[in-house]
Structure 1
C-alpha cells in the first residue's frame, strides 16, 4: 500500500476488526486506550505501507500511546498480538519468576505479565443463564471488603493480595503542612515586603500607593522510609512496596531505602510510573532480598551517608522492620539515638505487633524501642489506614534540642 494514498480511504474491514481487538487488549493491560485512539489507529494504518512492520508499529504507537512509560507494555502487546499470540503463556511464565532465582539468558520485559494476563482474559464469553438468587442469612457476617481490611498480609492468598494491592494504590498520604522560610507574594499576607513596595513606588514618582505583602510558603515535610527486606519481612515488604511506590509517585521529597545486610536507595527506581517497571528496577538494584538482617549496620550507613541530605526541614522517618537483628543489636542503640535526634518524628512499624501478647524480648527491639516516637503495627490494610491518620495529625514537638 502506498504512503501517498487517498486520505479519505477507508481501512479494510479485517484490519479495522483487528485494530479494535488490539485496542481492547491494551485496555485490559491497563493502558488508557479508548474509541478515539482506535479510530486514529485505523486511520494511521491507511497512510503507511502495511508490508513494513516497523511502519505499522510506529503508526499504532503514535496513535494509541500518549505516555512514555506505556511504551514497554505496548511493544510487548504488539509483538504478541500481531506476530505470535501463542507466546503469551511463555511470557507470563518468565515474568512470574522469582527475583531471587538465577537470571536466565533472556529475561522477559517487566510488562510481559500484564500483557499475558490481558491475553488470558476473555470478555466475550457467553453469559451463564440467570438463576434465582439464593436466600442467604446475613446475620453475624461481614462483607468481603471488611474481611480484606482486617486480613493479615501473611495469610493472604493470590486473589487477596491482588485486591490488597489495588486498595493500597488508592491510599493517599496527607502529611501535616510545615511553614518554611520562603516567602511568596500575597495581597493579604501578614508580612510587609518593604523592598518590593519601594521598587513599585518608583513607577509612581516615589509615591507609595500600595503596600506589597508576603506570606510564608507551607509544604509537607520530607518523608524518609527505611524498609526491612530480610527473610522474616519479605512477604510484608513485597506488599508495602506497592504502598511506597504509590506514595513516591503521589508527592515530592520522598526517599525510600531498603535494607537487609546492606542499605540500598531505591527512590529513583520507584519513581517509574508503571509499577512493574519500578519493581523490576528495584529487583536489579537490591541484591540482598530475603537474606539476613543487620539493622544496626544499615542505620549507621544511613546516618553516615544520607542523613544530612534527606533529613532536613522537619523530616518524618518511617522505620519498617520486625527488630530481629542477626548482629545482636551491636551498636543499634547509638545509631537509633542519632537517627531519632536528626528527624522530627521517628515512627517504627512492626508487623509483630499484630499479636496481642507481643513482648519486646529480643535485643534488637529492646535497643530500638526507647528511641522512637510511635510504635505501631503494619500487617493489614486497616493498619495502613491508621498510619495515614497518624501522619495527618499535627506534629508534636520534642523536648530535646537539635
Structure 2
C-alpha cells in the first residue's frame, strides 16, 4: 500500500466516524508523513492530529480511530516501508523494538549521531537526520519546564504558543432554533405551514437547542515567583483574546486589565505596553486583594457570571490567606468553572500547602500545572472541556 493510499484510507476511517476529513487534508497528511519520516507510532499520531483535525472535540474520536487503524488493520512497519530513507552507514537503523522517544527512560533514543556520521560524502548534512533531530528537539521542548529554558528555547516556545489551537467552552443557548434535524416538534410552525397544503401537515417543523461559546476569563500572577512563566502566559492571553474573545487580567500587588492592550497586532508592542501599564510586574503577591478587586470592579458587571475563570498562580501570597478564601468563595458563586494553573504542581509529591493555594483549593474545580508547552495544551483542553459545573460545597 503506497503512502497516499494509507493517508486516504485513514482519512476515510475518520470521516466514517464523523470527522470531516477532506481529500486536501488527507493529501497534506501524506505529504507531512513523507517529510517527517516518522519512526514511532507516537510521531505518526501527532502528524495526523495536527493535519487532520479541526476542532478540540474531535480528539477522542481521532484517538479511537488511530488505535484501531494503526494497531489493527496495518502495522507501523508497513507505513515505515513507505517513508523510510534509503539505508546508509550514516543513518542508524530503526526497528520495531526501538524505544519511543516520548517514553520515560528512553534517553538513548534521543541521542543524536556524531557530527562525522551525520554528514554524507559530499559534506552535507543528511536531511533525514535533520528532520529526526528537529522532531526530537520539538518533543524535548514539549515537556521542558519554562523556568529551565534558555532564551533561545523560550523564543521558540513563544512562537509555538502563538499557534496553539484554542477552542471555547460551550453552553446551551436559552432559545431553541428551527432545524431540520431537531428533536422537538414545533407544533405552531407546523400548523402554520399546513395552511399552504390545504390544512394537511405534510411537512413537520422541528426545533433543537443550540450551543454558544461561554465566556473565558484569564487572571495571571506576574509577581516575582511567577516571572519565568509570565511572558509565556502573556502570549497565551493574547491568543485567547483574539480567538475566544477572552477577558484578561494580571496582578501582583494590584489588578490590571489587559484585554485591549493584548488585542494589538504586535506582540512586542503589547508586551512593552503591558510593562508600562502593570507597574507592579515582578513585585509581591496579594492574591486575595486582586481577586476581590476583580469581583468588585468587573465580576459584578457580568464578566465573571457563568464564565470559565482561569487563575494562573503558584499560590505564594504575602497577604492574609483568609482574604484568598473569601474572594474565591465569592468568585465560585459567580463563575461556571474555576481552573487554577499552578506550575509548582508538576513537582513530584506536590501538595497545596502554601497559604494562598491551601485557602483557594476548596473552590477550585480543576487544578493543572501549565509548566511546559505540553502542559499548556492541557490547560486549554481543560478550558474547552469545562462544560459541567460541580455541586458546590461552599454554599
Distance 1:168 1:278 in 2: 16
User: Do structure 1's residue 361 and structure 2's residue 353 form an aligned pair?
Assistant: yes
Relative to 1, partners in 2 of residues 1:162 and 1:192: Cα closer, same or farther, differing over 3 Å? same
Q: Following TM superposition, by how much is the alpha carbon of 1:394 offset from its aligned partner in structure 2, in angstroms?
A: 6.1
Distance 1:221 1:333 in 2: 25
Q: Following TM superposition, by how much is the alpha carbon of 1:297 offset from its aligned partner in structure 2, in angstroms?
A: 0.5
Secondary structure of 1:389's aligned partner: helix
Q: Structure 1: which 5+ residue stretches go unaligned? A: 1-128
Which residue of 2 is the match for residue 9 of structure 1?
none
Match of 1:149 among 111, 118, 142: 142
Q: Following TM superposition, by how much is the alpha carbon of 1:339 offset from its aligned partner in structure 2, in angstroms?
A: 1.2
User: Do structure 1's residue 310 and structure 2's residue 303 form an aligned pair?
Assistant: yes
Which residue of 2 is the match for residue 372 of structure 1?
364
Relative to 1, partners in 2 of residues 1:142 and 1:204: Cα closer, same or farther, differing over 3 Å? closer
Distance 1:347 1:215 in 2: 30
Task: Deviation per CA, 1:203-222: give whole Å up to 9, x if none.
Answer: 67877553433222212321
Give the root-mean-square deviation of aligned CA atoms: 3.0
* Most deviating of 377-386 and 181-190: 181-190
Which residue of 1 is the match for residue 213 of structure 2?
220
Relative to 1, partners in 2 of residues 1:264 and 1:394: Cα closer, same or farther, differing over 3 Å? closer
Distance 1:355 1:251 in 2: 31
Match of 2:331 among 327, 335, 339: 339
Relative to 1, partners in 2 of residues 1:241 and 1:196: Cα closer, same or farther, differing over 3 Å? same
Which residue of 2 is the match for residue 116 of structure 1?
none
Task: Deviation per CA, 1:255-294: give whole Å up to 9, x if none.
Answer: 1111111111211222223323433443343222111111
Q: TM-score by structure 2 length?
A: 0.61
Higher Rg of the two aligned structures: 1
Contact map agreement 2:322 2:359 (CA 8 A) in 1? no
Secondary structure of 1:217's aligned partner: strand
Relative to 1, partners in 2 of residues 1:367 and 1:360: Cα closer, same or farther, differing over 3 Å? same
Distance 2:124 2:196 in 1: 82
Secondary structure of 1:310's aligned partner: coil
Which residue of 2 is the match for residue 278 of structure 1?
270
Q: Following TM superposition, by how much is the alpha carbon of 1:375 offset from its aligned partner in structure 2, in angstroms?
A: 1.8
Q: Following TM superposition, by how much is the alpha carbon of 1:130 offset from its aligned partner in structure 2, in angstroms?
A: 5.5
Contact map agreement 2:288 2:320 (CA 8 A) in 1? no
Distance 2:187 2:279 in 1: 56
Secondary structure of 1:292's aligned partner: coil
Which residue of 2 is the match for residue 301 of structure 1?
293
Relative to 1, partners in 2 of residues 1:156 and 1:345: Cα closer, same or farther, differing over 3 Å? same
Which residue of 2 is the match for residue 179 of structure 1?
172
Distance 2:248 2:279 in 1: 16
User: Do structure 1's residue 321 and structure 2's residue 313 form an aligned pair?
Assistant: yes
Match of 1:191 among 184, 189, 213: 184
Relative to 1, partners in 2 of residues 1:157 and 1:183: Cα closer, same or farther, differing over 3 Å? same
Contact map agreement 2:329 2:363 (CA 8 A) in 1? yes
Relative to 1, partners in 2 of residues 1:167 and 1:142: Cα closer, same or farther, differing over 3 Å? closer
Secondary structure of 1:164's aligned partner: helix
Distance 2:125 2:267 in 1: 39
**How many correspondences in the alignment?**
269
* Most deviating of 178-187 and 206-215: 206-215
User: Do structure 1's residue 244 and structure 2's residue 237 form an aligned pair?
Assistant: yes
Q: Following TM superposition, by how much is the alpha carbon of 1:369 offset from its aligned partner in structure 2, in angstroms?
A: 1.7
Task: Deviation per CA, 1:11-70: give whole Å up to 9, x if none.
Answer: xxxxxxxxxxxxxxxxxxxxxxxxxxxxxxxxxxxxxxxxxxxxxxxxxxxxxxxxxxxx
Which residue of 1 is the match for residue 153 of structure 2?
160
Q: Following TM superposition, by how much is the alpha carbon of 1:318 offset from its aligned partner in structure 2, in angstroms?
A: 0.8
Task: Deviation per CA, 1:223-252: give whole Å up to 9, x if none.
Answer: 111101111112211111111111221123
Contact map agreement 2:170 2:387 (CA 8 A) in 1? no
Which residue of 2 is the match for residue 381 of structure 1?
373
Contact map agreement 2:142 2:373 (CA 8 A) in 1? yes
